[in-house]
Structure 1
Amino acid sequence: MKVFEPVVRLMNRLKYAQKFIVIAVVFVLVIASVSFILMQRMNSEITEMEQRYEGASYNTALKDVLQQVQIHRGTSVQAWNGSEDAQSKLASIREQANRALHVLNEQHTKQTYPLHIDEELDAINEQWQAIAEKDRWQDRDELTTLHTNLTTFIIETMLTVSNESSLQLARSPASQNLIATLTKTMPSVTENAGNLRWLGASVLAKEGDMTAQERAHISEKFYLMIEEFATIDADLQRAFTDPDIQAAVQSTYEEATAANELYATMVEQLLNGETANLTSAAFFEAATNTINLQFDLYSTSLAHLTTLMEQQLSELKMNRIMLVLLETLIVLVAMYLFMGFYIGIKRSITTIEQAAISIAEGDLTTSIHLHTKDEMLEIEHAFNKMTTGLQSLVKEIGESSQYVTASSEELHVGVEETTKSIMHVAEMMSDVSEGANEQTARLQQSEDALQHMTNDVAQIVTNSEDVAQLALTTMTLAHDGNDVMQQSSTQMNTIQQSVETTQHMIEALHGRSEQITHILQLITGVAEQTNLLSLNASIEAARAGEYGKGFAVVANEVGKLAAEARNAAHEVGTLVQGIQKDTTTSVQLMGDVTTQVRTGMDLSTTTAQKFEQIVSSMEQLSEQINGIIVNSSQVASSTEQVVTAIDAMKVISTKNMAASTEVATATEQQNASMEEMAASATELATMSETLQTLIQRFKV
C-alpha cells in the first residue's frame, strides 16, 4: 500500500472539487492521448487512402495519354506506309491526345499530395510536343522510336505514381493482385501489343514479306505479350477470389481474353507465314481491339478499385466522425457520472457538516440519514452511534453534577452546624477559662488566709493571752474560709459540668467530622466518576475528529472541574482529618480536665469539711479555751495540710486553665478548618452549578 502513499498525500491536501478536477484532467488527458493516437492513425489511413485515390486518378489520366500515344503511333505508321485513311485520322488522334494530356496537366495542378513527377510530366509534354509538331518523318524507325520512348516513359511514370501514392498497398490480397496487374502488367502488355500492331501491319502491307530483323522483333514482342497475358490471367484469377472484383471485371475480362486469343492467333499465323487470309487493316483492327479491351479492362478494374477506395475513404471518414462523437459522448458521460458522484459526496459531507454544527451548538438529538449504500453508510452509522453515546454521556454527567450539587449543599449545611457547635464549645471553654482564673484567685486568697491563720496559731502558741480574741478572729476567718470553700466547690461543680458538656460536644464534633469524611468520600467518588466520564467524552470527541473539537473543549472543562472538585474534597478531607485529630486530642485533654476537676472537687470537699471542723472547733474554743494550747499544735498541723491542699488545688486550677487554653486554641483551629471547609463546599457548589450550566447547553 506504500506505493499509493504519494497520491494519498496529494489527495488529502485537496478539496473534493479539486480532487475531481485532477481526476477529470487525468481522465481527459488519457482519453485525449488515446484519441490523438487513434486519430493520427485514422488520419494517416485517410491520407494514405486519399493519396492512393489520387494516384489512381493520376494513372487513369496517364493511361488515357498512353492509349492515345499508342494509337497515334500505329496510325502514323499506317500513314507512313501510305494509308490515306490513317493519314486523315492523325489530326483527330492528336487532338484526343492533347485533350488527354491537358486532363493530365490539370490533374497535376490539382494534386493534393506531392508525387514527385514534375520532371516526368514535363518530359512527357516535351516529347509529345516534339511528336505532334513533326510534319515529316525521316524513316519509320524515327517515328516508332520517338513514340516508343514516350510510351515507355509514360509506363515508367505510371509505375512511379503507383509507388509514390502507395497504390499497391491495398487492404486485401485480391485488391493487391488486381493493382499489381494494373500498375505493372497491363500497361506493358498494351505497349507490346501496340508494337506488334504496327510491326505486323507493316509486314502485311508488304504482302507478308518479312525480314529476319522484323521476325525477331515480332517474335520477341509476341512472346513477351503471351507471358504478360498469362501473368494477367494469373493475377486476375487470384483477384477473382473477391466476389465484388469478379462481378465488376469478369465480363470485360472475358471479352479481353477472347480478343487476346484472336490476336495471338493472327500473330502466330504471321510468324508462320500463313498470311493468305490476313490483311494489314484486319491485323491492325484486331490489335487495336485487343489493346482497347486491355485498356477497358484497365479502366474497369481501376474504376472498381477507385469506387472501393471511395467507399473505404468514406468509411474511414465516417469512422473518424464516429470516433470523435464516441469520444465526446464518453467524456460527457464520464463528466456526468463524475458530477453525480461529486454532488452525492458533497451532499453527504454537507449533511454531516450540518449535523456536526448542530451537535457543536448543543443539539445532541441530531442524527443523519445519507440515503446511500457505500462507505458513507458506515460513517452514518458511526456518527449516529456517536451522538447516542454523547447523549448518554451528557445525561450521566448531568445526573452526577446534580448529585454533586446536592452533596455540596449537604456538606455546606453540615459545616455550618459544625461551625456553630465549635463556636459554642469555644464560648464554653472561655467560661471554663474564666472560672479557672477566678478559682486560682480564690485559692490564692484561701492560701493567704491560711497563712494568716498559721501565723495566728503560732501567736496562740506563743501568746495564749490573745487566744480568745484570736479565736474570735479565727472563727470569723473560718466562716469566711468556709464560704469561700463552698463557693469554690460550687465553681468546681460548674467547671465539671462545663467540662463534661464540652467533652460531649467535642465527641459530637468528632462524630460529625466522621460524617463529613463519609460525605467527602462520596464527593471524591463522584469527582472520579465525573473525571472518567470526561475522559470518555474526550475519547468520543477525538473519534469525531474536527467536528468533535467543540465537545472536546466541554469535556476538558468537565475534567478540570472534576479534578478541582477532587482536589477540594481532598483538601477538605485533610482539614477534617486535622479536625478529627484535634477533636481526639481535645477529648483526651477534656478527659484529663475532668479527672483533675474531680480531684479538685474532692479536695474542695475535704477543705470544706476541714473548715467546718475549724468552725466547730472555734465554736468550742470559747468553751475549751484551756485546750487551746494543746490543740494549737493540731490546728497548726491541720493548717499546714490545708495550705498543702490549696497549693495542690492551685496546681490543678492552673492545669485546668492551661487545658482550657489548649482547648480554646484547638477550637479556633477547628473553626478555621470549618471555614476553609465551608469555602471549599461553596467552591464545589459553584463548580457544580457551572457544570450544570455547561450541560444545559446540550439538548438530549
Structure 2
Amino acid sequence: MACVELIDGTKVVVQKGRTIMRQSITAKILVTILSTLIVPLSIAGFWFYYDLQKSLTTIEAERGVSNLKAAHEMFDFVGTQLASTAKTNAYWAEHHEAIAKGDTDFLEDSVLSVIDVVVSLSSVYVADLDGDVLAKREHQPLNLDGQLPQMVDQMGNEMSLTGLVRSERGLQMVTLSKVTNEEGTAQPNGVLIFTRDVNEKFLETVQEVNKTDVTVYDGEQVVSTNKSYDQSKAAALGLQVKASAEPQVLSTTSNAGQQTESADTLVDIYGQPIGFLATETVSQTGAQLREKLLFTAAVAGVLLLLIGGLLAALFYNSLSRPLRRLGGEMARVASGDLTDSKGTELLAGSKRQDEIGEITQAFLAMNEGLRTLAKGVHEGSYHLSENSREFAASTEEARGSLQMIAASAEDIRSLVDRTFERVGEAAGHLDTLSEQAQTISGHAEAAVQAAGQMKAAAGDGQLQVDRSIGTMQVISQSSQESEQKVLALQTVAEEIIAMVDQIKAISKQTGMLALNASIEAARAGEHGRGFVIVASEVGKLSDQTRLTTEEIEVLVERIKHSVLDVCETTGLLRHRLEDGAEAVQATGSAFVEILRHIGAVEGQISQIRREAGKQEAITETGAEAVFGVKEMASEMVASVEETTAATEEMVAMVHTIAENSNSLANLAEELQEDAGKFKM
C-alpha cells in the first residue's frame, strides 16, 4: 500500500499498482442477480410454507373435531350398554312384585347382586317413584341419595334416562330405568339406578377405540389418559368452552409433531354444562412435510450459493480484474506519469469489443492526448515567459518618461495654486465683510422684531396680571364663605352630641326598666317567663343603643376636629391670597415701566439697521471685482489639473501593464514547471 500525490497536490491510496475500490462492480452485479433469484424464491417459499402450515392446521383441527365427536359417541355407547344392563333387571315381574310388597331382602339378593357380576359398576340403587332409596349397594360411598328425587323427576314419563352426575368420588355415569314386567305393560312402581365411575379406566376404554388421549373436566376434578396433561389450564379452558357455542380447537407445533387439542361442553343428566370433554392427538405428518420442505430449501440455498460463487468468479475475471487494472493505470496518469508501462501495454493488447474495451481504448487515447498536450504546454510556456519579460522592460522605460512629464506639470500647477490662493484670500475677506454687514442688518431687523414681540408680550402680561388680581379676589371671597359654612357644620355637630347624650340617657333608663322587668318576671314565676324573654331582649337592645351612641360620639368628635382644621386652613389660604394680590399689583406696575423702556430701545435699533444697509452695498461692489479675478485663476488651475490628471492616468496604465507583464511571465514559468512534472 502506498500514497501517490497527483499533479494538483491531492493524494490517492494505491495498492499493488491499483486504486482501492470502495465497492466492487462484481459484488453489485452478484448481489443484483442473487436478489433477483433469492428474493422471489424466498417469498414463494415462505408463502408455500405458510399456506402448507395453514392447511395442516385446518386438517388437524377437523381431525380433532372428528375425534371429539367420536369420543362423545363412545360416551353414548357406554351409556347405552349401561342402560341396557339396567333395563334387563328393571323389566322383571318378580322385581316389580318385590317392590310392591316391600321385600327388600329379595331385592338385595336379586338386584343388588348385579354389582358383583358387572364389575364396572360403582353402585346399584333401588328407589320408589319419589326417589326414596329402598335398597342400595356401593363399592365406596357416593352419597347420591339426595340427588335421586331430582333425577327421578328429570325422567318424567320416560322409562329410562342416562347421563352424568357429580359425586363425592368424582364424575359418575348414571342410568335410571323404571321397574315393570317383562312386557312393559305393568304400571312402574320403582326405579333401578346403576352408576359407573368416569375414571382413567373408563377413559382408557374410549382411548382404545378412538386412538386418542381423552380428558374430562367436571368443573372440580380432571381425569385424563394423558399423564402429562397440565391440570392448571383446565379451569380457563372450561370457561372458554362454556362461552363458545362451537368446539374449541387448540393447535400447536412441537418437536413431537402437530399437537391438536379439541374440547367441547360436557352436560350432566339435568342438561346443565358442568365442564368439558377434550381429545388430544399428535400428528407426525405435518412435521415430516416441514422437514422435507426445510431440507429442500436448504439444498436450493446451497445450489444458489454455488451458482453465485461461479458467477462471482466469472464476473471477477471478465469485469473486476480489467477494471482494477484500468483503475491502476488511471491513478498512475493522475500522478503525472504519462510514460508507457507494462499495464499500458496489456491494455493496448486487449481485444475486447464490449463496453470495457471501449473504456480502455478511450483511456489510451486520453493518455496519448495528455502526453501531446503536456509537451506543447511546456514549450509554449517557455516562449511566453521570455516575451513577457522583454515587454515588461519596455513598459518600465515608458513609465520613467511619463513620470518626468508629470513632475513638470505638477510644478506649474503649484504656481497657479499659490496665485489662486491669494485671490481666494482677498475674496474671502470681502465675503467676510459682506457677511458681517448682512449679519448686522439681520440682527438689527431681528432686534426690531424682538422689541415688538417684547412690547406685545408685556401688554399681554399686564392683562394677565389684571385677570389674576380679579381671580384672587373671587377666591378670597369664596374661602370666607366656606369658612362660615364649616363653622355652621361645627354647630350642627354640637347639636348631634347633645342628641346623643339624650339617647344615652334613654338607653340607660331602658336598661334599668329591663332589669326591673326581669326581676318582676322572676317573682311571677311560671307566668312571667315570657316577660323574662322580652326584658332580656330589651336589655340587649339598650346595650346595642349605648354602643352605637358611643361610636357616634367618636365620629362627631372627629368631625369637630376636622372642622377646626378646615377653618385654620381656610384662614391661612385667605392671608396668602391677600399677599399674592399685593405681589401681582407690584408686577403690573413693573410691566408699565418695561413698556416705556422697550419703546426707547426700538428707536435706537432702527438707526443701526439703516447704517448697516449702506455698508453692505459698498462691500458687495468690491466683492464683485475680486470674484472676476478669482474666476480667471480658477480656469487656469482647472487646465493644469486636467493635464496633470491625464499624465498620472497614463503613468498608472503603464505601471499596470508592467505588472501584468511580470505576472504573465510568472504564470508562464509556473505552467512550465507544472508541465515538467509529467513524465513523457
Larger fraction in strand: 2
Q: TM-score, normalised by structure 2?
A: 0.23
Q: TM-score, normalised by structure 1?
A: 0.22
- Please identify the structure whose Cα radius of gyration is greater: 1
